[in-house]
Amino acid sequence: MSVTSALCFEASGVAAGIRYSKKDVALVRSTVPAVGGAMFSRNKVQAACLQVNRANLAAADPQAVVINSGVANSATGATGYANAVATAAHTASLLGVEPEQVLVLSTGVIGVQLPMERLLPGVESAVSALAADGGRDAAQAIMTTDTRAKETAVAGDGFTVGGMAKGSGMIHPDLATMLAVLTTDYPLDHDEPIAFLRPAVDATFNAISVDGDCSTNDLVLLLANGASGIERTPATDTAFAAALRVACEDLSRQIVADGEGVTVLAEIQVDGAVDAAQAKAIARRIATSPLVKTALFGHDANWGRVLMAAGSAPYNGGYADIDADRTTLRYNDVVVLDRGTPTGVEPDVSGPSCAIALELGLGDGSASYLTSDLSLDYVRINGDYRS
């Protein structure tokens, strides 16, 4: 179960000594011609690698992606951009492809230049180590504060979707420091990967939050090489879209479950909103509220905090619509507020997961979010992240 589960993909992960004494350079490639598409962080501060990747994707279909952990290569100016270009070019020369066919990803500390004297030899080692069973090594090499590698594989009828991701902190929608590489042997044409990727990402990676902070480096990449040889039909397209979404759901859930200092995983469900956009705004506000998240850490069903957050969800220059007298709120299927009236029932929220469901009674809009608690360990981890 890995990024190399689909046919004709290889990967590797090696230690280059960039920042940690661990694997820190990963490489994934298709051994047969592939097409690809990517979604990027919407943060206005864009890491050098993302700038290079936008240009490369506009010029060619990606055949490989090289990733380093430890240094984000963000806010590094012209030197950082040149280093990203040089990394792509060096990798391409070793793989026998064009520089524009290689994407470059980085994750780690912002504002630090890449140690190219270590990174480029690391790339050479990664190329030498490429293997069909190298997915686990690659997934380990992209970790920063992650405590475990995040991998997935979904078998379809005649095709496979594989993938890996990293992310533990600085996780929030609009591509929450999150990186994900998805691979498939399903056949897609040049301009099709993004059409399948966007709805899958919007429903999964763009509906998670650990700390409400949107990284400068986030990217989700889909590589498709058609090596399965499956005959495409409308039915197989539907099946592929479903498999891709399942893979994205799996990886996004692994990211939140491994969030920095996380002890509680919480699912936020909003139904009955005026429309889907307002439902998502409300779910997002609840999922990112520090007061809701600290209550989760304390295993306290302090549901007034959920109402507070729902009633202050930014939307279209104001707040999303909510009428407290029509609102029903449940914790783990226990009604604590029934159409504006408290029930006086205290739900059990002592476990490692919590389901919070809000029914607004205003329309048919619905949305869900996956979030986590905010713990003392989160402060500790991020208080000394650079030391």
| pLDDT given for residue 226 in this prediction | 98
CA distance linking residue 152 with residue 199, whole number of Å: 18
| pLDDT given for residue 222 in this prediction | 98
CA distance linking residue 339 with residue 362, whole number of Å: 12
| pLDDT given for residue 386 in this prediction | 61
* Residues 253-265 as b or e (16 or more Cβ within 10 Å = b): bbbbbbbbbbbbb
Q: Does domain 265-383 have CATH number 3.10.20.340?
A: yes
| pLDDT given for residue 43 in this prediction | 76
Report the amino acid identity of residue 273.
A
- Give ranges for CATH 3.10.20.340 in the chain: 265-383
Distances (CA, A) of 246 to 71, 152, 165: 30, 9, 14
27 and 126 in contact (C-beta within 8 Å)?
Answer: yes
Is 177 considered catalytic here? yes
Backbone region of residue 174 per phi and psi (left: phi > 0; alpha: psi in -120 to 50; beta: other values): left
CA distance linking residue 211 with residue 261, whole number of Å: 11
The stretches in the chain having pLDDT less than 50 are: 176
CA dihedral 221, 14, 176, 182 (to 10 degrees): 30
- pTM value is 0.84
Which is the catalytic residue, given 177, 184, 236, 327?
177
Q: Which CATH number among 3.60.70.12, 1.10.3720.10, 3.90.600.10, 3.40.50.300 corresponds to the domain 9-257?
A: 3.60.70.12
| pLDDT given for residue 21 in this prediction | 84
- Give ranges for CATH 3.60.70.12 in the chain: 9-257
| pLDDT given for residue 174 in this prediction | 56
| pLDDT given for residue 176 in this prediction | 43
Ordered alpha helix ranges (H), the chain: 48-59, 77-95, 116-128, 135-141, 193-203, 234-257, 276-288, 290-297, 304-310, 376-383
